[in-house]
Amino acid sequence: MPEQTHLKPPKSAKSILMRSETIVVILLMTFFILFSRISAGFFSSSMLNVIFLTGSELGIIALGVTLLIISGEMDLSVASVFVFSNYIVLISNQFGLPILVSFILGIIFGIGAGFLNGFFTMKFKIPSFVVTLGFMIFWRAVLAGLTNGEPTYYEGVPTRLFKVLGGQIGFIPNQFIWFCILAVVFSIVLNRTKFGNWIMATGGSIQTARSLGVNILRIKMICFMISSSVAAFAGASFLVRSSYLDPSVATGMEVEAVAAAVIGGTVLTCGIGSIIGTSICAFLLKVVQVGIATYGIRVEYYNVLVGILLMIAAVINSALIKKRLKT
């Protein structure tokens, strides 16, 4: 690709992202302090562990979704890929493959699932929302058929791999360390590399990106595969850590991942997004979820609050884009 495709986001876009990140930080601190005061069990080490663990899992998935949204596409199949990668790891190991090889196969499945999402979207010009919705249903249905919808317990996880993927230091799970590593990598790739600039250019204006020599097909295909592969990584890690496969696990996590991205400052149509905002928002959502649960409020109200925050963020981001990015 030509050198001139090294694009920089406008200052107005950076201003929007900084404002979104600031709002998310304020919300995180507000809810954390609120639930620490009103819920007796919220600030316990076990609940903090849950926040760090589930926030890391959601955050890993949301990172891939953010990258894909910035490129101008959507992935609603990530939660299904998450849970199906559990099955790939489990069945591969039961067939006699070492757990590490089985784990890698789970990630390879994710790459393949992402390729299918991208292929049907780009080859047949079907909106990615429709394609990934279809695969969301497909992978869940296949898994339900293979497992009869029943949970499966898995034994025999090697101690070394468990420590790497599922151990913890104090109340901080190792999964949080993996999340931080991935968040740093994603942030560097998006903001410091030509590939990241090509992603933003593609999501901002396909015509402009194409005129500058950006390979739109390649960029979007890679983003689809990254989105599904990190979801598979999170899912395979979940099995190794929990030794438990449940076809219904992670139901609704695709909505949480999209919410984390959008509330964190990622805009659906402008090639603008924030890895930092998404990362913070993943933990914001889990602070709210755990806080609601420990306070004794029905979990359905968590979904209501996520929906409200998502709609507010979408409206605010839309207004900011119209105001600051008029050309």
For helices 216-242 and 174-192, the axis angle rounded to 10 degrees is 170
**Residue 30: predicted pLDDT:** 96
**What residue ranges do the domains of the chain occupy?**
3-31+44-324
CB-based contacts of 143, cutoff 8 Å, min separation 6: 80, 83, 84, 87, 247
Least confidently predicted of 80-89, 131-140, 240-249: 240-249
* Average pLDDT value for residue range 37-46: 91
Check pLDDT > 80 for residue 302: yes
Q: For residue 168, what are the β-bridge partners?
A: 173
Number of helical H runs and strand E runs in the chain: 13, 4
**Residue 96: predicted pLDDT:** 87
- Taking the CA atoms of residue 84, residue 85, residue 88 and residue 89 in that order, the dihedral angle to the nearest 10 degrees is -140
Average pLDDT, the chain: 89
Q: Return the number of other C-beta atoms located less than 10 Å from residue 192's C-beta.
A: 10
Q: What is the pTM of this model?
A: 0.92
- The whole-angstrom separation of Cα 50 and Cα 237 is 15
CB-based contacts of 252, cutoff 8 Å, min separation 6: 79, 303
Q: Which two tokens stand for residue 124?
A: 């047949």
> E strands within 69-190?
152-153, 168-169, 172-173
**Residue 158: predicted pLDDT:** 58
**Residue 33: predicted pLDDT:** 96
Level-2 CATH architecture, domain 3-31+44-324? Orthogonal Bundle (1.10)
Check pLDDT > 50 for residue 4: no
Tens-digit pLDDT profile for residues 206-250: 998 999 899 999 999 999 999 999 999 999 999 878 878 899 999
